[in-house]
Amino acid sequence: MTGVVGSLSFRPERLAAAASIGFSSATDLAEYLALAGVPFRQAHGIVGRIVRHCIENRKDLGDLTLAAFREFSPKFGPDVLKILTAEASVRLKRGPGSTAPLEVKKALREARLRNR
């Protein structure tokens, strides 16, 4: 395994493009609506309808306009378009052990200390 990991090379631009395809931001959309005052159960249903719409129309969430989001809920504001990337999704997480950049740095630092 060491040989495999040691010889890996990554193409960040391809990874970023692949991560933004599909519906990985759907949970972020539901959280967005919940923070805007929509009960989470309703937010989940709204996002489910958005995902169904995208599947039926062969679109990704990032293909939708603000107007399209607002057809599903008036609670969507212009800032919704900024949370639809994989990078934004990672940054939205704040809790301990999350994908937030500071949490990842902390975990890496702790792992390096354990491996000394």
In a domain, 42, yes or no: yes
- Measured between alpha carbons, how far is 7 from 29 in angstroms, rounded to an integer? 37
Confidence of residue 34 (pLDDT cuts 50, 70, 90): very high
CATH of the domain at 83: 1.10.40.30
- Measured between alpha carbons, how far is 12 from 43 in angstroms, rounded to an integer? 32
HSE-CB of 20 using CA atoms within 13 angstroms: 15
pLDDT of residue 94 exceeding 80? no
Element (H, E) at 59: none
In a domain, 56, yes or no: yes
Sign of CA dihedral 20, 23, 27, 29: positive
pLDDT tens per residue across span 46-74 = 999 999 999 999 999 989 999 999 999 99
SS3 78: helix
In a domain, 92, yes or no: no
In a domain, 40, yes or no: yes
Query: How much is the CA Rg of the chain, to the nearest whole Å?
Result: 18
In a domain, 99, yes or no: no
Please state the pTM of the whole predicted model.
0.75
Which residue range(s) make up the domain with 41? 10-87
Total domains in the chain come to 1
Query: What's the farthest any 2 CA atoms get from each other in the chain?
Result: 55
Q: How many helical (H) and strand (E) elements, i.e. helices and strands, does the chain have?
A: 7, 0
In a domain, 49, yes or no: yes
In a domain, 93, yes or no: no
In a domain, 115, yes or no: no
